Amino acid sequence: MKRFKKGLTVLEVSDIPAGPYVLRVKTSEGVFTEKVVVE
């Protein structure tokens, strides 16, 4: 799990279908990409 220095963002995923997704977060420090699964 990656931790970011500032803030917290919660993503609401109840409106999207279950399955695998790629989460990409772009910050001033760079881009973080992670595979996630919505159940």
Please answer whether residues 20 and 34 qualify as being in contact, where contact means their C-beta atoms are separated by less than 8 angstroms: no
Q: What is the DSSP letter of 16?
A: S
Task: Say what the pLDDT of residue 23 is.
Answer: 94
Task: Say what the pLDDT of residue 10 is.
Answer: 82
Residue pLDDT, tens place only, 1-39: 556 566 777 888 999 999 999 999 888 888 989 999 999
Task: Say what the pLDDT of residue 3 is.
Answer: 61
Task: Give the three-class secondary structure for 8.
Answer: coil
Its domain, for residue 24, covers 1-39
Report the C-alpha gap between 18 and 20 in whole angstroms: 7
> How many domains are there within the chain?
1
- Nearest Cα to Cα of residue 7 among 25, 22, 24: 25
